Amino acid sequence: MRIVVVGGGMAGTIFANNLARRLSSELRAGKARITMLTASDRHVYQPGWLYVALGRMTPDELEREQASLLEPGIGLHVDPVKQFNLADNNVVTEAGKTHEYDLLVIATGSRPVPEDIPGLQENAIHCYSADNAMKFYDRLNEFKGGRILVTVGLPHKCPMIPLEITFCMHDFVRERGLLDKTEFYYTYPIGRSHSLENVAKWASPEFEQLGIRQETFFNLKEVDGANAVARSEEGSEIKYDLLVTVPPHRGQKVIEANNLGANGFIPTDRASLHMQGEHGNNVIVLGDTTNLPISKAGSTAHFEAEVAAENVASLIKTGRAVRAYDGKVFCFIEAGRGRATYAMFNYSKPPQPKAPNAAMHAFKMAYNKLYWASARGVL
């Protein structure tokens, strides 16, 4: 059985390691082979970019060699895929190599596209790469007061970041004694402050307590940098002194170029995680790349990867898949003033965020270090 995993991020790495452990004897006997094709020799813990933007972590703390994270027996090639020939059961890489498979796992993630909105890229700061997170810190550090406007594009990875970044910037400004000179203005594209209703019910009063102004139904249309104004599709205009954005996302260009899914997100079965359609029988999709109606989060990638690895191992050993993904997601939410809460939910059970506390914040900070054990499949 030749298993080819495309993408060495959270989903691809956790899947490959989990599967390699389950199939250690099959791998040794040459009955199974796991090949990973990825775009970088570095593995990045992206959630840490939030803390880089706030000056609390440095980018090097968030990276490891991809090869150092993989179980023995996984063949790693840092050679991105450019062509998916699903009818012929093979993929072709940028270097021109063809890899045949019996099972293909696609986990290429998603990418921010601030360039899709006129003026956004040039005028806003965000924390969706190490470089951008460092620029974010510089601009926040230079800020001397005025209006901080937060805009949010959908879909985006990390469902909680609009809230977290706002609470954390509020701390940053307060700690520098600038709170009385600063107005926070939070906007959100739908009719409440977060896509998850119970999270919105928890967050909005927290914002009110801190004096953070909120505007819903604000879908950013364009940013006029010369006049420092953000305009929405709904006709609203908001002036800003510092524009902070959670940019909209798409899947990878390679997914769009191969017509695997609109905007780079692949139609995926919500329970089996197989690609929908003609070739779905031997194609699994994991992590941000799916079009599933759930959060694009590391925890989603993690829980999906575990289900998929268990199923593939069971198929190889017994001829049957044994688990269905139930939509499980777990997200910490930094709530400012050294506190955090969390949202745990699935397709049928909505989250019930509790009052934030210091212990949950400490837990999130600890997880930021423990992630590497997760990636290796130990945690």
Ligand X SMILES: Cc1cc2nc3c(=O)[nH]c(=O)nc-3n(C[C@H](O)[C@H](O)[C@H](O)COP(=O)(O)OP(=O)(O)OC[C@H]3O[C@@H](n4cnc5c(N)ncnc54)[C@H](O)[C@@H]3O)c2cc1C
Give the residues lining the site for ligand X (CB under 6 A). 6-12, 37-40, 46-47, 49-50, 80-81, 107-109, 127-128, 157-158, 161, 252, 254, 287-289, 296-299, 301, 331-332
For ligand X, the closer of residues 207 and 303 by Cβ is 303
Nearer to ligand X, 101 or 238 (CB): 101
DSSP readout, 311-369? HHHHHHHHS---------EEEEEEEETTEEEEEEE-SSS---PPPPBHHHHHHHHHHHH
Judged by beta carbon, residue 170 or residue 232, the one nearer ligand X is 170
- Residue 98's DSSP bridge partners are 92
**Quick one: 49 or 238, whose CB is closer to ligand X?**
49
Q: Which residue of the chain is nearest ligand X when measured via CB? A: 9
Taking CA 157 as the corner, what is the angle to CA 241 and CA 165, rounded to the nearest 5 degrees? Answer: 35
- In angstroms, how far is the first alpha carbon of the chain from the final one? 27
In the complex, minimum distance from the CB of residue 111 to ligand X, in angstroms, rounded to a whole number: 8
Nearest distance in Å: CB 299, ligand X = 4
State the nearest-atom distance from the C-beta of 219 to ligand X, in Å. 21
Tokens representing 86 are 């699903």
User: Among residues 17 and 38, whose Cβ is nearest to ligand X?
Assistant: 38
Go through 214-239 and write b for each residue having 16 or more CB atoms within 10 A of its CB, e for each that does not: bbbebbbbebeeeebbbbbeeeeebe
Query: Min. distance of Cβ 298 from ligand X in angstroms?
Result: 3
In the sheet with 237-239, reading across from the earlier edge strand, the strands are 220-224, 229-232, 237-239
Between CA 304 and CA 31 the distance in angstroms is: 25
Q: How far is the CB of 324 from ligand X (least distance, A)?
A: 20
